[in-house]
Amino acid sequence: MSILAWIVVGLVSGWLAKMVVPGREPGGFLATTAIGIVGAMLGGWIWNLMFNRAGATGIDIGSIFVAFIGSVVLLLIYHAVVNNRSRV
């Protein structure tokens, strides 16, 4: 999938991840969007490595699911880091 497609999928998956992950978002909309895009690109990169789809184009259900999972994981990590920093 192209970088632009991963960004679009990242926007959607970041929004969906925010709906799933409980708690207030410390960084607001922009942080959630950035986390969604990075999570989608990271998840997509791992997905393409695992299934040897380096030249694949287009958006399929598997790539959307992986982007969503990547966004949720990255958002949970972000919450853990920000919450630990506020306790210190």
26: CB partners within 8 A, 6+ apart: 79, 82
pLDDT band at 80 (very low <50, low <70, confident <90, very high): confident
* Residues 44 and 69: beta-carbon distance below 8 Å: no
Predicted model pTM: 0.74
Q: What is the pLDDT of residues 42-77, one digit of tens each?
A: 877 777 777 765 555 566 677 778 888 888 888 888
pLDDT band at 39 (very low <50, low <70, confident <90, very high): confident
Q: What is the pLDDT of residues 2-37, one digit of tens each?
A: 778 777 877 888 788 888 877 776 667 777 778 878
Judging by beta carbons within 10 Å of its beta carbon (0-12, 13-18, 19+), is residue 67 exposed, middle or buried? buried
